[in-house]
Amino acid sequence: MDTMHWTLPTDHPVFAGHFPGHPIIPGALLLDQAVRLATQHFALPHGSIKIANAKFLHPAGPEQTLTFGFDRKESGAIHFTVRSGDTPVASGVLTALAP
């Protein structure tokens, strides 16, 4: 499995309202980053993949280094995982958009 790392700083605007006193990275932002990193890692055209499914397993917060793991299957589907250290944060599958 290929991995990439990402850390969201405490001063990122997303934390202003998500959630006051206990900031967490929104799931939509995690998925957006998974798509961006997979597109970059596999040198795919921008906008060529979509989220087929996703599970959120544990919240992640500011300054946590998240490890995104990618495993491309023969079918072309890309299985991804997001971890903070040994803690699973999210997982899912990315697939190609229909032409």
Q: Is the pLDDT score of 99 beyond 70?
A: no
Token representation of residue 65: 């280094």
First to last CA, the chain: 27
DSSP, collapsed to helix, strand or coil, labels residue 5 as strand
- Sheet order of strands, 78-84 included: 2-7, 65-72, 78-84, 87-96, 49-56
Domain boundaries, the chain: 2-96
To the nearest whole number, what is the mean pLDDT of the chain?
Answer: 94
Top-level class of domain 2-96: alpha beta
| pLDDT at residue 29 greater than cutoff 90 | yes
What per-residue confidence (pLDDT) applies to 19?
84
Count of beta carbons in the 10 Å neighbourhood of residue 94: 25
What is the model's pTM?
0.92
65 has a pLDDT exceeding 90: yes
